[in-house]
Amino acid sequence: MSPAPEVVALAGGVGAARFLRGLVRAIPPRNVTAIVNTGDDREFYGVHVSPDLDIVTYTLAGAIHPERGYGLAGDTTHVIDALGALGHETWFRLGDRDLATSLHRTQALRAGRGLAEICDEVRRAYGVETRILPMSEDPCPTFVNLSGGRRVHFEEYLARDGAPDDVESVDLSDAGSARPGPGVLEAIARADVIVVCPSNPVVSIGPILAVPGVRDAVIDAAAPVVGVSPIIGGAPVKGPADRLLRGIGAEVSARGVARLYAGLCDAYVLDERDRDQLDDVVALGLRARTTETLMRDADVALALARRTLELALDR
Ligand code: GDP
Ligand code: CA
């Protein structure tokens, strides 16, 4: 048997984390490096929150809240409940132990340490063997432009406003002038396989690729690049990818996401339910295959990760 490949995964939050949970069973966890979106990062309650970094960390640690897909299993919300009683807005539901992660991050940032080093420390404290790299250490807030000239931070759009449908465009300009995080370009260049996780293409993968140098590094890398569709049967499994894809003028389908990834990916995995789109994806110049991609449990995620690597490596 050939040795396990080194895999770099471009990752958002929940969809990516579910996939990574399978990937680290398909190959040794230390062979995986996740490059994670920080476009959702924002200060809440005086602390620096990194939603996607923490979702990936907690999921790989087996500590994620199973139903919500974010936050820690069994966490309480005493702090934000008490803040609410004092008149604070508490629409961002940060649990107590989850708050500790962000409090630690904030203190370390104030002490002059970098987000990548802090993230590495947190994942080790949670017993995660997989390397987790922020896409950038610079602030990269994603903004959503809505009808009527309203402009909101992505977390305001999602968590406060409930992801309305009147998206006119998405503003990734801060990511577009950020520097790649430590180790990001090196990991991409060294990879044997690059996976674009089943994440929101617009606000999770989009920001990572918007950081100058990252898209070119992926295209220039020797490794095959394989994407996994986050859209099944014309709808996202969870979250507002449909509204954001429509907002940027893309089709809400496996094929529509493949079109966005056509210049980037060599291969693409779509769900069995979207078998009728396989020819269209192949016509984009992608090697493609269908399989079960709805990751109901860790075994489906494992099988999906294996099929994804096989397609990438043409095995
Ligand atoms: P977020 O930052 O938490 O929104 O997470 P991501 O950007 O990583 O993931 C959101 C995307 O993951 C959505 O478009 C979902 O459709 C997709 N997703 C979530 N679970 C699954 C799954 O089991 N299978 C597939 N194929 N996509 C999924
Ligand atoms: Ca996210």
pLDDT averaged over every residue in the chain: 97
Is 147 within the bounds of a domain? no
Q: Which amino acid is at 34?
A: A
Q: For residue 149, what is the DSSP state?
A: G
- pLDDT for the residue 1: 52
The residue whose CA has the least distance to atom 1 of ligand 1 is: 13
Is 1 within the bounds of a domain? no
- pLDDT for the residue 305: 98
Q: Round to whole Å and give the CA distance between 108 and 117.
A: 9
Q: Round to whole Å and give the CA distance between 188 and 195.
A: 10
Q: Round to whole Å and give the CA distance between 237 and 239.
A: 7
Confidence band, pLDDT 50/70/90 cuts, at residue 2: confident
Predicted confidence (pLDDT) at residue 315 exceeds the cutoff of 90: no
Q: Round to whole Å and give the CA distance between 210 and 273.
A: 31
Is 309 within the bounds of a domain? yes
- Please indicate whether residue 298, judged by its CB atom, sits closer than 6 Å to ligand 1: no
Domain with residue 202: its CATH number is: 3.40.50.10680
Which of 228, 64, 217, 38 has its CA nearest to residue 133?
A: 38
Is 173 within the bounds of a domain? no
191-210 pLDDT tens trace: 999 999 999 999 999 999 99
91-143 pLDDT tens trace: 999 999 999 999 999 999 999 999 999 999 999 999 999 999 999 999 999 99
Range of the domain at 71: 7-138+181-233+252-313
Query: Of 199, 246, 252, which is best to mutate to test ligand 1, by the most ligand atoms within 8 angstroms of its C-beta?
Result: 199
Task: State mean pLDDT over 25-37.
Answer: 98
Residue linked to tokens 């990062």: 41
- pLDDT for the residue 3: 87
Is 245 within the bounds of a domain? no
Is 81 within the bounds of a domain? yes
Total domain count, the chain: 1
Predicted confidence (pLDDT) at residue 310 exceeds the cutoff of 70: yes
Query: Of 67, 204, 291, which is best to mutate to test ligand 1, by the most ligand atoms within 8 angstroms of its C-beta?
Result: 204
Which of 198, 218, 187 has its CA nearest to residue 307?
A: 198
- Please indicate whether residue 15, judged by its CB atom, sits closer than 6 Å to ligand 1: yes
What are the tokens at 47? 């602390």
